[in-house]
Structure 1
Amino acid sequence: MALTRRNFVRAAGLAGAAGSGALLAGCARGAADSGANEPAAAGAAGAGVGPDGVSQVVITMTPSSEPAAGFDPLVGWGAGEHVHEPLIQSTLIATDNNLAFVNDLATDYGCSEDGLTWTFHIREDVMFTDGVPLTAEDVAFTINGIVNGEAAEADLSMVDEARAVDATTCEIAMKRPNNALLYTLAVMGIVPAHAYGPDYGEHPIGSGRYMLEQWDRGQQVILRANPDYYGDAPLMDRVVVLFMEEDASLAAAQSGTADVAYTSAALAGAVPAGYALLNCASVDSRGISLPCNPAGTDVTVEGDMVYAGGNDVTSDLAVRRALNYGIDRSQMIEHVLAGFGRAAYSVGDGMPWSSEAMRVETDVAAAERLLDTAGWARGDDGMRARDGLPCAFDLYYAAGDSTRQALAYDFADQAAALGIAVEPKGASWDDIYLRQYADPVLWGWGSNSPVELFELTYSTGWGNYAQYMNDTVDANLEAAQAARTVEESYPFYQAAQWDAATETGVAPEGAATWVWLANVDHLYFEREGLKVAEQKPHPHGHGWSLVNNIDQWSWS
């Protein structure tokens, strides 16, 4: 399994996340040699038509989008690093374009008064592609497989066990009340108990909209419509996904090989003839974690893994607040993203659980006053220090990510104007993970659920790199997850970000544990004549979230 930040911390005994959430704008369109091999199935019979005459679309995705363990929901398919609908498998529930929960396999569901038992009733007309009916036994088998599976990336840590009451009824017994269960179920594909084995990921049997027709590792995946699907028949008969680097993706569009090719802000101006630029809104956030404890405050995970922790500069609240107020996010987005993004103030801007208290307007004068008052005096070189300690720190970013590199250097330039010396350091994720509690790191996050907000903020959350711990914040987060409905959870999530009554929270006015920079637009070259269906807000990463509703795409 490929190492990601989620399964890295899971290996240390921590939990992961998945999800769905609220309403943002959809996609906008505008006009604005890689050495790649052309796949056998792509472009053989012209745009929009497969070699056998059926409707077809060819899409490029990043190499990291290829599921290392195959199409197995009990490992990572649909969950983990990039959350998406599993396509090959059905889910109990799903989300609509407004990100409200809707039924898929489920006909109805509910939770007990004490929050400890969820009951799902499922359809009777669903069959796996091998002709065997899907029953509640398969639902329970899938859930228990994830609960007990060491490699599972979907977060069902709140579940004790699932049991089939009868063929159409499944009960889920909880360890504790937690409505976040629904966010995981919305992307958790149901596998067949009778046909699951070690090679399932390579030869998946499902009941979803599509079936796996072909998988050439490192090159492409081909899906074809399931003729026995119980829902509306897919409008797109075949889906070809090519895994390639960014420059190869551009070449695939330029050559007409791909119908939808992912791109970046740096290349967005090079729209090939016959294509338009498809710009999809996202909650794909870039932000910098700011360790809140002094150096030497090591972090122990699961009792035996010790990481260096703490930073003598960012542990000063004045520095953290000054960075939040002193950075011009709009300027950064123009410089680095060519305007293809939005200012970010939290993980999940615009979601119903986000808080307006996270938003800050650029105020360089206020940032300067914070630093002056805290005793960080400028020297002859314009840089600040206090009691012999330079106001300086290293900022780590993933060395292979040019966008994060550019954001890091722009952030460093703006920090220097405040008198704070920031040294960007590109490194491998293996090296970054070892420094994640001691040095600021430029992360990429974003999910259509509040689970990441919880984990990045809760005292023992797997993403609490800032190591800020507050009982009031924890209590609000716990109350949010224990609420009977997701709607009832929103005020508690907002209070965890800033509670004016107790003056606690992670907002810039409070602990200022992060400085969020930008939500990165997801950009694609889209062939003229292709009708890409309305998109949900995209979570972190160019990948499978684009094709959540591929069955609704069509050619004009």
Structure 2
Amino acid sequence: MVRGGRPAWTGLALSLMVAAPAPAGAADNSVGVRLPADAAPPAKQVLTLIGREGTFIDWSKTVQKSQWHPGLITEALVMQDINSDVKPLAAEKWEVSKDGLTWTFHLRKGLQWSDGMPLTAKDFEYTIKRIANPETGFDVAWYFSMIKNLKEVNEGKGKLDEIGATAVDATTLRLTLTEPTPYLPMILSDLYVVPSHIVSKVGDAWSTSPATAVSAGPFKLEKWDRDRELVFIANRAYRGIRKPYLERIVYKIGRDETLFPGYLGGDVDAMPWIYEGPLSPSDIAKIESDPTLKKESYTWPYFQTWWVAFGGDQTAFKDPRVRKAFAMAIDRDAIVKSVWRGMAVPAYGMLPPGFHCAQPARLKDAQPYNPEQARKLLAEAGFPDGKGFPKYDLYLRAASPTVKTAGEAIQAMVKQNLGIEMGVQNLERKLFMDRLNKYDLPIVLIPWEYDYYDASNYMNIYKSGGRHPWSNAEHDKLVAEGNSGASDAQRCAAYRKAEDILVREPAAVFLWHPTVTQLWKPWVKGEILKTN
């Protein structure tokens, strides 16, 4: 199958090209790459997209509010290919100590920024410490919490020089961990280095202007016209291994609802996957009924899970009976059938079907739809027929119209089956994430999309002190065992036990896994568009 997560997005820079109706023959582009024989001439190697606008092209400042995509202008130590396998990138090789706590990465020689300054291990050390620094305000620092003292420093309990990231010399980076983490290279595929010589002087705004957004990646930022478009051009100073076919990427700013009309109108060359999913069931029906659109579409089950998450001890959801009541009052099958109409499958646990360690069938009956039992549990918790239950809103994050409909369906089920009045609020992404990270939202409908093909990517989310306020010592212990297990069988056994706790406690109400549909004009060619 085609996999269209983050590896495919950043793969744009490496493998896509624009084909020509009548190719003139092979030619070299501006960065010295020989174009395939069926390619359009270099001047026509332009890809146009539409998408949301973020704040910074810098994943050491923000992920949740970032602009697409730091992988265009910076490098990670490693990358994931289209099959989610780890491959060398800025680091050409690495080794790990016998105890699994020390990793040493050796950078390729000759890497540089577009201003001619060398890219060194010191830049990676600086990036990691920037992530940890609480003054940066990085929104997913917990993602890198296996690096020694990073979590403590981020919480204001340590000093930056105590973090387990050291540039031994210009091309050697040593990372020290708190526990063995066999999947560390997968994590590091999302660690995009920043230019320490620029950021230390300019600060957070470095990636917002062509004047300061020096690049170590295959493209450079040529223009960022706020509310209109960004333009990236091939970086002639790039010394890495991802030299592109494309000469230019034009990224027009638009709301989710403009994407499909823009594609139909010929304004863009592609409509890749957007996190919350911009296509509605009626859009899919149009694609399926149109021979041309159907030929240009790519559809597959996706590694993403949607669930209802609950607030902590300051809310009524501190009582597990209330959480179980909500779980049994929500009919996931009805939501999948009536709202998503073939665009999703029911979720019975955290891990999506086909993902590492996933066995969803074993959890099918763990959160059954049972309104009668739900009402009984709610009454036992002190809220018979919903009486006296606090007035909460279900919060959504920059939701598409279809996700809004799903939220309203949950609202109706809770009212009908529990007698609880609940509003629905769709917050702007930044506001939502700021409040979520402060544990300031009582109940939310939210997804997680895989970053890398390992169960740790999902199972670490509910570790104590993570994205949600729920905490369970046995769950944490099992996740730690899964993270550091010596064999895949040991790791999966621990993760499955931890997932059982998530579902049966419950920590959340798991609802659906989406099906992805992308659209690509026929003149866009590349490895990521080949089915397998």
| TM-score between the two structures when normalised by the length of structure 2 | 0.72
Q: Which of structures 1 and 2 has the larger relative contact order (alpha carbons within 8 angstroms, sep 6+)?
A: 1
Q: 2:50 — aligned with what?
A: 60
Letter in 2 for 1:511: E
1:60-99 equivalence runs, <5 A: 60-61=50-51, 63=52, 66-69=53-56, 71-76=57-62, 86-99=71-84
Give me the whole-angstrom Cα distance separating, in 2, the residues matched to 1:111 and 1:436: 36
SS in 2 for 1:497: helix
SS in 1 for 2:206: coil
Q: 1:356 — aligned with what?
A: 360
1:228-243 equivalence runs, <5 A: 228-231=238-241, 233-243=243-253
Q: 1:289 — aligned with what?
A: 309
Letter in 2 for 1:210: F
Counterpart contact for 2:397–2:432, Cα < 8 Å? no
Among 178, 190, 194, the residue aligned to 1:191 = 194
Instruction: Give CA deviations for 1:433-487 in whole Å, capped at 9, x if unaligned.
Output: 48967743222322334566345422332323xx3x3321121122333446888
Q: 1:506 — aligned with what?
A: 502
SS in 1 for 2:44: coil
Aligned length: 458
1:264-303 equivalence runs, <5 A: 264-265=279-280, 266-271=282-287, 275=293, 276-279=296-299, 281-290=301-310, 297-298=313-314
| Alpha-carbon shift at residue 258 of structure 1 (Å) | 0.8
| Alpha-carbon shift at residue 244 of structure 1 (Å) | 0.1
Q: 2:472 — aligned with what?
A: 470
Counterpart contact for 1:282–1:520, Cα < 8 Å? yes
1:112-511 equivalence runs, <5 A: 112-148=97-133, 150-153=136-139, 155=141, 156-159=144-147, 160-179=163-182, 181-196=184-199, 197-198=201-202, 199-201=205-207, 202=209, 203-227=212-236, 228-231=238-241, 233-261=243-271, 263-265=278-280, 266-271=282-287, 275=293, 276-279=296-299, 281-290=301-310, 297-298=313-314, 309-311=315-317, 315-316=321-322, 318-320=324-326, 322-323=328-329, 327-329=331-333, 331-350=334-353, 351-356=355-360, 359-360=363-364, 367-368=370-371, 370-371=373-374, 374=377, 386=384, 389=387, 394-398=392-396, 401=399, 402-415=401-414, 418=417, 421=420, 423-426=422-425, 428=427, 430=431, 433=435, 439-449=442-452, 450=455, 453-464=458-469, 467=470, 469-483=471-485, 489-498=491-500, 505-507=501-503, 510-511=504-505
| RMSD across aligned positions (CA) | 4.1
Give the structure with the larger helix fraction. Answer: 2
**Structure 1 gap segments, 5+ residues each:** 1-23, 28-42, 299-308, 378-383, 499-504, 536-551
| Alpha-carbon shift at residue 403 of structure 1 (Å) | 2.5
Letter in 1 for 2:89: D
Relative to structure 1, is the Cα distance of residues 524 and 461 closer, same or farther in structure 2, using a 3 angstrom cutoff?
Answer: same
Among 88, 96, 108, the residue aligned to 1:103 = 88
Give me the whole-angstrom Cα distance separating, in 1, the residues matched to 2:113 and 2:483: 34
| Alpha-carbon shift at residue 94 of structure 1 (Å) | 1.2
Letter in 2 for 1:253: Y
Counterpart contact for 1:115–1:484, Cα < 8 Å? no
Give me the whole-angstrom Cα distance separating, in 2, the residues matched to 1:478 and 1:521: 31
SS in 2 for 1:230: coil
Structure 1 range deviating more: 127-136 or 393-402: 393-402
Give me the whole-angstrom Cα distance separating, in 2, the residues matched to 1:225 and 1:431: 35
| Alpha-carbon shift at residue 511 of structure 1 (Å) | 0.7
Q: 1:519 — aligned with what?
A: 513
| TM-score between the two structures when normalised by the length of structure 1 | 0.70
Q: How many percent of aligned residue pairs carry the same amino acid? A: 18
| Alpha-carbon shift at residue 533 of structure 1 (Å) | 3.8
Counterpart contact for 2:475–2:498, Cα < 8 Å? yes
Give me the whole-angstrom Cα distance separating, in 2, the residues matched to 1:312 and 1:144: 35
Give me the whole-angstrom Cα distance separating, in 1, the residues matched to 2:484 and 2:418: 44
Relative to structure 1, is the Cα distance of residues 371 and 195 closer, same or farther in structure 2, using a 3 angstrom cutoff?
Answer: closer
Counterpart contact for 1:311–1:438, Cα < 8 Å? no
Give me the whole-angstrom Cα distance separating, in 2, the residues matched to 1:58 and 1:436: 38
Letter in 1 for 2:54: P
